[in-house]
Amino acid sequence: MQTENNMPNYWLMKSEPDAFSIDDLAQQGPSPWDGVRNYQARNFMQNMQMGDLIFFYHSSCKPAGIAGVAKVAREAYPDHTSWDPTSHYYDPKSSPDHPRWFMVDIELVEKWSNVLPLSTLKQDPELSDMLLIKKGNRLSVMPIKPNEWQRINTHLKPNNKPR
DNA sequence: GCCAACGTTGGC
DNA sequence: GCCAACGTTGGC
């Protein structure tokens, strides 16, 4: 669904690389982002449109930070793991008739040469408003403002030149 | 492994 | 509708 204009929206999605890393995404191709069980994160995913761009963030590892870029390959649809009793993500209040949880598919755009650490993002005064940096933020899916997207890509993204 | 911060649950 | 208790997130 494309609405007012053709500009992509920008997002950030967190994953623990032990569970699902940017290399896993590269290997698997378009992959479902299942298991989100937070309403705010779900609502953000339901606002995603085909082609929207995503910072793929590695959390709970060192260094935690942005590992590369992905894009939305399928818009929101019901997360079937929510009604699978054998799934770790099972929610008895969700059913095929009344799905409570949704997911999108995402696809790798580029893996960066190095992870851009959270500590670097925190040092940049132009990024001080980022949700990611706010104290206590625990969202696993969040919007990124266009100026933040540009700033990170033009000034902070690790270069890919061989040494 | 610690623990601050947060979201959710459920008794009242 | 309040809020204490609980479970989870995620940087450090």
Measure the CA–CA gap between A21 and A56, rounded to whole angstroms: 9
Domain ranges of chain A: 10-156
- In strand C, the nucleotides that come within 7 Å of a protein beta carbon are 8-12
A154 CA, C2 C1': Å apart:
48
The count of residues in chain A is 163
Element at A58 (helix H, strand E): strand A53-58
pLDDT in 10s for each residue of chain A, 163 residues: 555 567 889 999 999 999 999 999 999 999 999 999 999 999 999 999 999 999 999 999 989 999 999 999 999 999 999 999 888 899 988 999 999 999 999 999 999 999 999 999 999 999 999 999 998 889 999 999 999 999 999 989 897 665 4
Statement: the CB of A138 is under 7 Å from strand B: yes
The nt closest to A136 (CA vs C1′) is B5
pLDDT for res A159: 78
Measure the CA–CA gap between A49 and A27, rounded to whole angstroms: 23
Q: Could you tell me which CATH number the domain at A10-156 has?
A: 3.10.590.10
